[in-house]
Chain A
Protein backbone atom coordinates (compact mmCIF):
# COMPACT_ATOMS: atom_id res chain seq x y z
CA UNK A 1 0.00 0.00 0.00
CA UNK A 2 1.38 3.37 -0.88
CA UNK A 3 0.98 5.35 2.23
CA UNK A 4 -0.50 8.74 2.46
CA UNK A 5 2.22 10.73 4.18
CA UNK A 6 5.66 9.22 3.83
CA UNK A 7 6.26 10.33 0.24
CA UNK A 8 5.80 13.91 1.43
CA UNK A 9 8.42 13.33 4.09
CA UNK A 10 10.86 12.23 1.38
CA UNK A 11 10.29 14.88 -1.23
CA UNK A 12 9.27 18.01 0.67
CA UNK A 13 12.48 18.49 2.69
CA UNK A 14 14.44 17.98 -0.54
CA UNK A 15 12.38 20.60 -2.31
CA UNK A 16 12.63 22.97 0.67
CA UNK A 17 16.42 22.59 0.72
CA UNK A 18 16.65 23.22 -3.01
CA UNK A 19 14.48 26.31 -2.67
CA UNK A 20 16.67 27.65 0.18
CA UNK A 21 19.75 26.98 -1.93
CA UNK A 22 18.17 28.81 -4.82
CA UNK A 23 17.58 31.78 -2.49
CA UNK A 24 21.28 31.86 -1.59
CA UNK A 25 22.27 31.69 -5.24
CA UNK A 26 19.92 34.54 -6.16
CA UNK A 27 21.32 36.59 -3.24
CA UNK A 28 24.82 36.01 -4.61
CA UNK A 29 23.70 36.98 -8.12
CA UNK A 30 22.06 40.16 -6.86
CA UNK A 31 25.09 41.08 -4.73
CA UNK A 32 27.26 40.74 -7.85
CA UNK A 33 24.98 42.60 -10.22
CA UNK A 34 27.77 45.12 -11.00
CA UNK A 35 30.80 42.84 -10.77
CA UNK A 36 32.77 42.76 -14.03
CA UNK A 37 33.04 39.27 -15.47
CA UNK A 38 30.63 37.72 -12.98
CA UNK A 39 28.50 34.93 -14.44
CA UNK A 40 25.12 34.18 -12.92
CA UNK A 41 24.53 30.88 -11.19
CA UNK A 42 21.37 28.87 -11.04
CA UNK A 43 20.08 25.76 -9.32
CA UNK A 44 19.07 22.81 -11.42
CA UNK A 45 16.77 20.78 -9.26
CA UNK A 46 13.21 20.45 -10.49
CA UNK A 47 14.11 18.63 -13.69
CA UNK A 48 16.21 16.25 -11.71
CA UNK A 49 13.52 15.57 -9.12
CA UNK A 50 10.97 15.05 -11.86
CA UNK A 51 13.24 12.40 -13.35
CA UNK A 52 13.56 10.67 -9.96
CA UNK A 53 9.79 10.61 -9.63
CA UNK A 54 9.41 9.14 -13.12
CA UNK A 55 7.62 12.19 -14.43
CA UNK A 56 10.06 13.31 -17.12
CA UNK A 57 9.96 13.09 -20.90
CA UNK A 58 13.76 12.81 -21.17
CA UNK A 59 14.98 9.59 -22.72
CA UNK A 60 16.45 7.25 -20.15
CA UNK A 61 19.82 5.71 -20.91
CA UNK A 62 19.76 1.97 -20.49
CA UNK A 63 21.87 0.65 -17.63
CA UNK A 64 22.30 -3.03 -16.85
CA UNK A 65 25.50 -2.77 -14.89
CA UNK A 66 26.22 -0.71 -11.73
CA UNK A 67 29.21 0.87 -13.50
CA UNK A 68 27.06 2.30 -16.27
CA UNK A 69 26.41 5.99 -16.21
CA UNK A 70 22.76 6.78 -15.67
CA UNK A 71 21.15 10.05 -16.65
CA UNK A 72 18.32 9.33 -14.23
CA UNK A 73 18.77 9.34 -10.43
CA UNK A 74 17.99 5.99 -8.82
CA UNK A 75 15.66 7.22 -6.13
CA UNK A 76 14.48 10.43 -4.53
CA UNK A 77 17.03 10.31 -1.69
CA UNK A 78 19.89 10.49 -4.19
CA UNK A 79 18.59 13.68 -5.79
CA UNK A 80 20.87 16.59 -4.98
CA UNK A 81 20.36 20.10 -6.29
CA UNK A 82 23.18 21.12 -8.60
CA UNK A 83 24.47 24.62 -9.12
CA UNK A 84 25.51 25.54 -12.59
CA UNK A 85 27.12 28.70 -13.89
CA UNK A 86 25.46 30.23 -16.92
CA UNK A 87 28.33 31.19 -19.24
CA UNK A 88 26.61 31.65 -22.59
CA UNK A 89 24.63 34.86 -22.12
CA UNK A 90 25.71 38.49 -21.96
CA UNK A 91 23.91 41.52 -20.55
CA UNK A 92 26.60 44.20 -20.26
CA UNK A 93 29.88 44.50 -22.12
CA UNK A 94 31.95 43.99 -18.95
CA UNK A 95 31.16 40.26 -19.14
CA UNK A 96 28.47 40.28 -16.46
CA UNK A 97 25.24 38.46 -17.27
CA UNK A 98 23.04 39.21 -14.25
CA UNK A 99 19.69 40.71 -15.22
CA UNK A 100 18.50 42.47 -12.06
CA UNK A 101 14.80 42.34 -13.01
CA UNK A 102 14.91 38.68 -13.87
CA UNK A 103 16.66 37.84 -10.60
CA UNK A 104 14.04 39.84 -8.67
CA UNK A 105 11.26 37.92 -10.39
CA UNK A 106 12.99 34.61 -9.66
CA UNK A 107 13.42 35.71 -6.05
CA UNK A 108 9.72 36.47 -5.68
CA UNK A 109 8.71 33.19 -7.31
CA UNK A 110 11.14 31.24 -5.17
CA UNK A 111 9.85 32.84 -1.97
CA UNK A 112 6.30 31.84 -2.84
CA UNK A 113 7.49 28.33 -3.67
CA UNK A 114 9.24 28.02 -0.31
CA UNK A 115 6.19 29.33 1.53
CA UNK A 116 3.83 26.91 -0.19
CA UNK A 117 6.19 23.99 0.34
CA UNK A 118 6.53 24.79 4.03
CA UNK A 119 2.75 25.12 4.28
CA UNK A 120 2.44 21.69 2.67
CA UNK A 121 4.96 20.28 5.15
CA UNK A 122 2.99 21.85 7.94
CA UNK A 123 -0.23 20.30 6.66
CA UNK A 124 1.44 16.91 6.43
CA UNK A 125 2.43 17.14 10.07
CA UNK A 126 -1.05 18.28 11.11
CA UNK A 127 -2.35 15.26 9.20
CA UNK A 128 -0.35 13.07 11.52
CA UNK A 129 -1.62 15.01 14.50
CA UNK A 130 -5.18 14.38 13.39
CA UNK A 131 -4.51 10.66 13.08
CA UNK A 132 -2.83 10.51 16.48
CA UNK A 133 -5.35 12.57 18.40
CA UNK A 134 -8.49 11.73 16.45
CA UNK A 135 -10.99 14.26 15.28
CA UNK A 136 -12.56 15.97 18.26
Chain B
Protein backbone atom coordinates (compact mmCIF):
# COMPACT_ATOMS: atom_id res chain seq x y z
CA UNK B 1 0.00 0.00 0.00
CA UNK B 2 1.33 3.39 -0.94
CA UNK B 3 1.20 6.05 1.73
CA UNK B 4 -0.40 9.43 1.36
CA UNK B 5 2.88 11.17 0.45
CA UNK B 6 3.57 8.69 -2.34
CA UNK B 7 0.20 9.60 -3.78
CA UNK B 8 1.11 13.29 -3.54
CA UNK B 9 4.40 12.53 -5.30
CA UNK B 10 2.49 10.94 -8.17
CA UNK B 11 0.43 14.11 -8.58
CA UNK B 12 3.53 16.27 -8.20
CA UNK B 13 5.24 14.35 -11.01
CA UNK B 14 2.19 15.08 -13.15
CA UNK B 15 2.44 18.78 -12.32
CA UNK B 16 6.16 18.82 -13.16
CA UNK B 17 5.50 17.08 -16.48
CA UNK B 18 2.72 19.49 -17.43
CA UNK B 19 4.85 22.48 -16.41
CA UNK B 20 7.57 21.19 -18.70
CA UNK B 21 5.04 20.83 -21.50
CA UNK B 22 3.95 24.41 -20.85
CA UNK B 23 7.60 25.54 -21.20
CA UNK B 24 7.92 23.75 -24.54
CA UNK B 25 4.66 25.25 -25.82
CA UNK B 26 5.81 28.74 -24.76
CA UNK B 27 9.07 28.14 -26.59
CA UNK B 28 7.16 27.11 -29.73
CA UNK B 29 5.00 30.25 -29.61
CA UNK B 30 8.02 32.47 -28.91
CA UNK B 31 9.78 31.01 -31.95
CA UNK B 32 6.79 31.00 -34.29
CA UNK B 33 8.58 33.50 -36.57
CA UNK B 34 12.20 32.42 -36.08
CA UNK B 35 13.60 31.89 -39.57
CA UNK B 36 17.21 31.27 -38.57
CA UNK B 37 18.05 28.73 -35.88
CA UNK B 38 21.39 27.30 -34.76
CA UNK B 39 21.79 25.07 -37.82
CA UNK B 40 20.74 27.78 -40.25
CA UNK B 41 17.29 26.22 -40.63
CA UNK B 42 14.07 27.76 -39.35
CA UNK B 43 12.84 26.75 -35.91
CA UNK B 44 11.24 23.32 -35.73
CA UNK B 45 8.20 22.83 -33.53
CA UNK B 46 8.96 20.69 -30.48
CA UNK B 47 6.63 18.31 -28.68
CA UNK B 48 7.03 16.43 -25.41
CA UNK B 49 6.48 12.71 -25.05
CA UNK B 50 5.40 11.46 -21.64
CA UNK B 51 5.78 7.97 -20.26
CA UNK B 52 4.42 6.28 -17.18
CA UNK B 53 6.93 5.69 -14.38
CA UNK B 54 6.82 2.34 -12.68
CA UNK B 55 9.16 1.76 -9.78
CA UNK B 56 10.51 -1.67 -10.49
CA UNK B 57 13.64 -3.26 -9.09
CA UNK B 58 14.16 -5.46 -12.11
CA UNK B 59 13.94 -2.60 -14.57
CA UNK B 60 10.89 -3.97 -16.30
CA UNK B 61 8.40 -1.35 -17.24
CA UNK B 62 5.39 -3.39 -16.37
CA UNK B 63 2.65 -2.92 -13.83
CA UNK B 64 2.73 -5.62 -11.19
CA UNK B 65 1.45 -4.15 -7.98
CA UNK B 66 0.21 -0.91 -6.55
CA UNK B 67 3.69 -0.23 -5.09
CA UNK B 68 5.04 0.17 -8.63
CA UNK B 69 2.99 3.27 -9.40
CA UNK B 70 5.21 6.33 -9.50
CA UNK B 71 3.54 8.92 -11.71
CA UNK B 72 4.76 10.22 -15.02
CA UNK B 73 7.94 11.60 -16.59
CA UNK B 74 8.98 13.38 -19.76
CA UNK B 75 10.71 10.68 -21.76
CA UNK B 76 11.89 12.91 -24.58
CA UNK B 77 11.37 16.12 -26.49
CA UNK B 78 10.63 15.26 -30.10
CA UNK B 79 10.89 17.54 -33.11
CA UNK B 80 7.94 17.92 -35.40
CA UNK B 81 9.24 16.78 -38.81
CA UNK B 82 6.44 18.30 -40.85
CA UNK B 83 7.66 20.61 -43.65
CA UNK B 84 8.26 24.30 -43.08
CA UNK B 85 5.75 26.85 -44.29
CA UNK B 86 6.81 28.72 -47.43
CA UNK B 87 5.81 32.38 -47.27
CA UNK B 88 6.28 34.84 -50.15
CA UNK B 89 8.16 37.84 -48.79
CA UNK B 90 10.97 39.04 -51.09
CA UNK B 91 11.97 41.84 -48.69
CA UNK B 92 12.91 39.30 -45.99
CA UNK B 93 16.68 38.80 -45.60
CA UNK B 94 16.19 35.00 -45.51
CA UNK B 95 14.20 34.91 -48.75
CA UNK B 96 15.44 32.54 -51.45
CA UNK B 97 16.02 33.43 -55.10
CA UNK B 98 12.28 33.33 -55.86
CA UNK B 99 11.33 35.45 -52.89
CA UNK B 100 10.05 32.67 -50.64
CA UNK B 101 10.96 32.47 -46.93
CA UNK B 102 10.97 29.19 -44.99
CA UNK B 103 8.95 29.83 -41.84
CA UNK B 104 8.82 27.53 -38.78
CA UNK B 105 6.25 24.73 -38.82
CA UNK B 106 4.57 26.21 -35.75
CA UNK B 107 0.84 26.80 -35.87
CA UNK B 108 0.09 29.29 -33.10
CA UNK B 109 -3.58 28.26 -32.91
CA UNK B 110 -2.56 24.66 -32.42
CA UNK B 111 -0.13 25.72 -29.68
CA UNK B 112 -2.88 27.64 -27.88
CA UNK B 113 -5.08 24.53 -27.91
CA UNK B 114 -2.18 22.50 -26.50
CA UNK B 115 -1.65 25.20 -23.90
CA UNK B 116 -5.22 24.84 -22.67
CA UNK B 117 -4.78 21.06 -22.58
CA UNK B 118 -1.63 21.40 -20.49
CA UNK B 119 -3.32 23.85 -18.17
CA UNK B 120 -6.30 21.56 -17.63
CA UNK B 121 -4.06 18.57 -16.99
CA UNK B 122 -2.05 20.64 -14.51
CA UNK B 123 -5.23 21.66 -12.69
CA UNK B 124 -6.37 18.03 -12.59
CA UNK B 125 -3.17 17.12 -10.77
CA UNK B 126 -3.66 20.00 -8.34
CA UNK B 127 -7.18 18.83 -7.54
CA UNK B 128 -5.78 15.35 -7.00
CA UNK B 129 -3.32 16.72 -4.42
CA UNK B 130 -6.17 18.59 -2.73
CA UNK B 131 -8.21 15.39 -2.58
CA UNK B 132 -5.27 13.58 -0.99
CA UNK B 133 -5.01 16.38 1.58
CA UNK B 134 -8.72 15.99 2.35
CA UNK B 135 -8.09 12.27 2.86
CA UNK B 136 -5.31 12.92 5.35
CA UNK B 137 -7.40 15.45 7.25
CA UNK B 138 -10.41 13.13 7.37
CA UNK B 139 -8.25 10.29 8.68
CA UNK B 140 -6.75 12.56 11.35
CA UNK B 141 -10.21 13.42 12.63
CA UNK B 142 -11.05 9.76 13.40
CA UNK B 143 -11.44 9.30 17.15
CA UNK B 144 -11.65 12.98 17.95
CA UNK B 145 -15.40 12.82 18.43
Contacts and interface: CB of A to CB of B under 8 A. Distances in A.
A and B, one complex?
yes
Interface of A: 16-17, 19-21, 23-28, 30-36, 38, 41, 83, 85, 100, 103-104, 107-108, 110-111, 114-115, 118-119, 121-122, 125-126, 129
Nearest to B130: A111
A6 B122 CA distance: 43
Given A24-B6, A33-B121, A115-B138, A107 B66 contact: no
Given A31-B14, A35-B51, A111 B134 contact: yes
Contact of A107 (B63, B131, B138): B131
What's the dominant secondary structure at chain B's contact region? Answer: helix
B134 A115 contact: yes
A125 B14 CA distance: 37
Interface residues of B, number: 40
Interface string B116-145: 010011001101100110110011011111
Interface in B1-57: 1-2, 4, 6-8, 10-11, 13-14, 17-18, 21, 49-52
A122 B1 contact: no
A122 B142 CA distance: 5
A126 to B, nearest CB: 5
Interface string B56-91: 000000010010010110000000000000000000
A36 to B, nearest CB: 7
Given A20-B135, A24-B10, A27-B11, 10 more contacts: A24-B69, A27-B128, A28-B71, A30-B128, A31-B128, A32-B50, A114-B135, A119-B138, A125-B143, A125-B145
Contact of B138 (A32, A38, A114): A114
Contacts of B21: 34
A27 B25 CA distance: 24
A135 to B, nearest CB: 14
5 contacts: A31-B14, A32-B72, A33-B124, A35-B52, A122-B144
